[in-house]
Amino acid sequence: MKLVIVTAVEEFQKAVLKLFKNANIHNFSSSDIDGFKNGSSIAMATSWFPGDVFGNESRLFFSFTESENIDTLFGLIKEFNAKLETNNPLKAVVVPIEKFI
């Protein structure tokens, strides 16, 4: 068993849910997060409050699942990212689990 973590901008939430389903990952959790990139953006440069930091509304998904499901999910994510026309690809990592109850 391993822990897979996927981050995505909010507009890709439905796509991620479909990818999880197609990878046979039916049990997972998600949370709202703010995504940030280093460097100044146009929004920050033109802000009335230039000291404010702006984040992108994003989602974090995670699941404890088997390696085969994760391999399938990573393949699906690679295909999804290859077709993107934005600079906001899905990101995914895997963390091995030593013990669980």
Task: State pLDDT tens for residues 69-101.
Answer: 999 999 999 999 999 998 899 999 999 888 888
Residue among 101, 70, 76 at smallest CA distance from 90: 76
Give the CATH number of domain 2-96.
3.30.70.120
Q: What is the pLDDT of residue 36?
A: 76
Q: What is the pLDDT of residue 54?
A: 60
Residue 40 reports pLDDT greater than 70: no
Give the pLDDT band of residue 53 (cuts 50, 70, 90): low
Reported as type and span, the H/E element at residue 76 is: helix 67-82
Residue 35 reports pLDDT greater than 90: no
Q: Please give the backbone phi and psi of residue 34, each rounded to the nearest 5 degrees, phi first.
A: -105, 125
Q: What is the pLDDT of residue 41?
A: 52
Q: Amino acid identity of 5?
A: I
